[in-house]
Structure 1
């Protein structure tokens, strides 16, 4: 995906020393090379032949930075000095990758002593053709830098178109099937738009400029291209929803088989839409550079932002489908024992589908799609695992039962021991209580008898005292004395 800040150019630093320690001082043997880098690619301006030899020796393929590019730069830098134009007349362009960025870091940045490394252009037999001396781009005027920036953006788009074209060749048969079945109005537009854009690009390469007539051929295409992209995304979302709804593992196999038959058509439509829009954007940049060079930098940034937005929408739809497929693969893989035929076939289909999505993402440089599906277990593996798990479960159950019986025996023995001890303690306590009760009863009886005797004695004593007192209270009775009287 192109970076939004791709309008910022990164010129190299300058220096004169040759880090290799071998060079000729003859002017004819020394070639000055200007390195200009943006977020899409790297341009090496100078002797294209010598630069190409050097890049190949370093392991890089490059594209010529001349012809159409020179004319576009000249248009953008009206009034530039002839030296500036000569500087841009020849060179090579390399796509920005991790490896090419390291190349610039090696040759285009300061060495340990503040000096630049110098390259050597060699023929296949090893003979030195040129010593390359890398310089910075501050000798180019701003208009020239703007023009070069626009050309570099075009070359990045053309490189993307080339990569997508290679991808489409691989799925050509599936896409042809779709184009032949032109029942749908949206699909039927695809071939016509593609043909018109290819024709316009051919004229542009031949003439080197975009006339009003040439521009009119493609000026209305972006709307139709957007419709085609939206159509393909909608189809992929429909497939995603089908996968999400399907809960029966037995039905995943026929569903994924259906998706395999369709996916190349919709991926082909998406790739074609991106390719056609990149071609139109390339023509747009040439048109703006020709008619409104002062707007080129801003227009280039707008092109980059719009492209990133389109790719982001595609990336989101493909990621959603990929995540659903990964989820279903995990579910189906766990059901292989009960579905020995459908599960392995479903997983194989899903692996094929995620591989197709990853290939598409790599072609369009979609950075956040990295789908992976683990190979599901075979039926024999699943059965072996089930037997093993069952054996382990039975062993664990046996061990748990043995522990439970042992624990129960220990509990019973302990309960019996505790019960016996409790009974013994109870009997001892009962005997002690009986003895205490008997003693208390004897003491109570003895004390009762003693108290009773004392009470009786006291009562008798009190009774006697009462009788005596009562007698004292009676009136005195004088009785006659019998046998005594007058004689």
Structure 2
């Protein structure tokens, strides 16, 4: 530490903030000016969302059991943000300490003014960490905000395919997706009531909690359908049949992804309502409920990622068959590659709101004139015309087929 650092450490603090994190999200509380200065210093101000008086009021009610805590929280400001890899690494240098609430860490920082940056306050603990009920409440609120952000991202994803959505829904012949309509009506109604009243009463929760089973069943059905679809593609080796199947699969994939996305959006809404209900009825159970929801959420997303990435692997294999048979089937091969690329793009767009990394690359079909110079492509063509070759000679058969195929290829495709 330099002399300047020593001098700045002795300056009176112009404000302090308290940080609470669950590893994926963070809440910053303090005076409005201190919170804004801190977030600005770390380049996080633009991505932080205000907690609002209703949220701070809930924390105040939880803290009312400790003398003075509730009123101090109510007078403060608070902001939430989802951590990225970069912001998590930046804030890790602060050295948040573990608390008695599982998975939750905490730090209190003071601002010595303009000479130095924010400093960790070692002596004395803030209002949040001295009250486990308030800390658990902050953790529950982080879970709610994370669910609401994912809801917004899923809504944006669904809006991005809005022009296709009516066609997708019209094409759905299975009765299963129709169950989403009733679930959405009830859940969105209760969300609206919550936004107005700031709470979820027993009557409201009773009306929607059973919808969770509907959503889980629908997600399970859609994942099984994706597996079935991938299996159909896997069983086809003829390029002409594969072209038809890949084109049909393209629409079905979008249908199934739409169902899953809508279910996840409504599940997030149910999680928000559930946490509010527990906060109202049994605040001591809030942290346990938060951890259960977090675990269930993680397991479901792992299952979704496993199924969708597995589908991409089998889709890639189908495109590989098409790519290796350009000489005799350029038109069908092109159709397969275009359909599989569009399915890959659809799955990548679906993955983004769920923070699932997609590693699949789009396929590019070889030009016909390059394919006829490829020994493997000619070998594949020869294998297909072998029955003819047995009668007229292998070399003549392949040469004849290549010549015939060349006549069918437009000059610009050569």
Q: Considering the TM-score relative to the shorter chain, is it more than 0.5?
A: yes
Tell me which of 78, 83, 103 is aligned to 1:96: 83
TM-score, scaled relative to structure 1: 0.66
Q: Could you give the per-residue CA deviations for residues 216-261 of structure 1, whole angstroms, max 9, x where no partner exists?
A: 2312110111122122222212211111111112222222111222
Alpha-carbon separation, structure 1, partners of 2:193 and 2:377: 71
Partner residue, 1:47: 31
What is the Cα deviation at residue 267 of structure 1? 0.5
* Aligned ranges 1:389-404 → 2 under 5 Å: none
TM score, norm. by length of structure 2: 0.77
| Partner in structure 1 of residue 72 of structure 2 | 86
Corresponding residue SS for 2:199: coil
Q: Equivalences for 1:220-235 in 2 at 5 Å?
A: 220-235=210-225
C-alpha deviation, 1:78, in angstroms = 4.3
What aligned pairs does 1:433-448 form with structure 2 within 5 A after superposition?
none
Matched residue, 2:181: 191
Q: Please state if 1:239 is matched with 2:229.
A: yes
Q: Give how far 1:283 is off.
A: 0.8
Map 1:62-211 → 2, pairs under 5 A: 62-87=48-73, 89-107=76-94, 135=121, 138-139=125-126, 140=128, 141-180=131-170, 184-211=174-201
Of structures 1 and 2, the larger Rg is shown by: 1
8 Å CA contact 2:371–2:377 kept in 1: the answer is no
CA 1:227–1:384 in structure 2 vs 1: closer, same or farther (change >3 Å)?
same
What CA distance in whole angstroms lies between the structure 2 residues aligned with 1:388 and 1:243?
A: 21
CA 20–326 in structure 1, closer or farther in 2 if over 3 Å, else same:
farther
CA apart distance, 1:70: 1.8
Instruction: Please list every run of 5 or more consecutive structure 2 residues that lacks an aligned counterpart in the other structure.
Output: 98-107, 380-414
Separation of aligned partners in 2, 1:201 and 1:18: 53
CA contact (8 A) 2:59 2:70 kept: no
Residues 243 and 184 of structure 1: CA distance in aligned 2, closer, same or farther (over 3 Å):
closer
In 1, Cα distance between equivalents of 2:134 and 2:239? 63
Question: Which whole-Å CA distance do the structure 1 matches of 2:260 and 2:79 have between them?
Answer: 30
Deviation at 1:154, TM superposition (A): 1.0
Tell me: CA distance 1:342–1:71, structure 2 relative to 1, closer, same or farther (3 Å): same
CA deviations over 1:452-482 (Å, ceiling 9, x no partner) = xxxxxxxxxxxxxxxxxxxxxxxxxxxxxxx
- Cα distance change on mapping 1:199 and 1:49 into 2, 3 Å: farther
- Partners of 1:32 and 1:134 within 8 A in 2: no
Matching of residue 262 in structure 1 with residue 252 in structure 2: yes
CA RMSD after TM alignment: 3.3
Secondary structure of the residue aligned to 1:337 is helix
1:268 Cα deviation from its structure 2 partner: 0.9
Question: Using the alignment, how far apart are the partners of 1:218 and 1:302 within structure 2?
Answer: 19
Deviation at 1:23, TM superposition (A): 10
Residues 221, 68 of structure 1: CA spacing in aligned structure 2 closer, same or farther, 3 A cutoff? farther
Alignment of 1:362-381 (within 5 A): 362-367=352-357, 369-381=358-370
Shift of 1:55: 3.1
Q: Given that residues 37 and 43 in structure 1 are in contact (C-alpha distance below 8 angstroms), is that contact kept between their aligned partners in structure 2?
A: yes
Q: CA, structure 1 residues 19+106, in 2 after alignment: closer, same or farther (shift >3 Å)?
A: farther
Cα pair 1:18 1:117 within 8 Å, conserved: no
* Unmatched runs of 5 consecutive residues or more in structure 1: 1-14, 111-115, 122-127, 391-487
Following superposition, the deviation at residue 180 of structure 1 comes to 4.8
Aligned mates of 2:111, 2:372 — CA distance in 1: 63
Of 304-313 and 277-286, more deviation after overlay is shown by 304-313
Asked if structure 2 preserves the Cα contact closer than 8 Å seen for 1:237 and 1:317, the reply is yes
**2:392 corresponding residue in structure 1:** none
Q: Return the offset for 1:350.
A: 1.4
Matched, 1:37 2:21: yes
Question: How far apart in 2 are the matches of 1:280 and 1:24?
Answer: 49
Native 8 Å contact 2:56 2:73 kept in 1: no
C-alpha change, 1:178 and 1:329, in structure 2 (3 Å) is closer
Conserved? CA contact 1:33–1:135, under 8 Å: no
Is the 8 Å Cα contact of residues 329 and 373 (structure 1) preserved in structure 2? no
Shift of 1:280: 0.3
| In structure 2, C-alpha distance between the alignment counterparts of 1:381 and 1:18, rounded to whole Å | 69
C-alpha change, 1:109 and 1:187, in structure 2 (3 Å) is closer
How far did 1:320 drift?
2.2
Q: Distance in 1 between matches of 2:143 and 2:307?
A: 27
In 2, Cα distance between the equivalents of 1:352 and 1:272? Answer: 21
Q: Structure 2: how far apart are the matches of 1:350 and 1:184?
A: 23
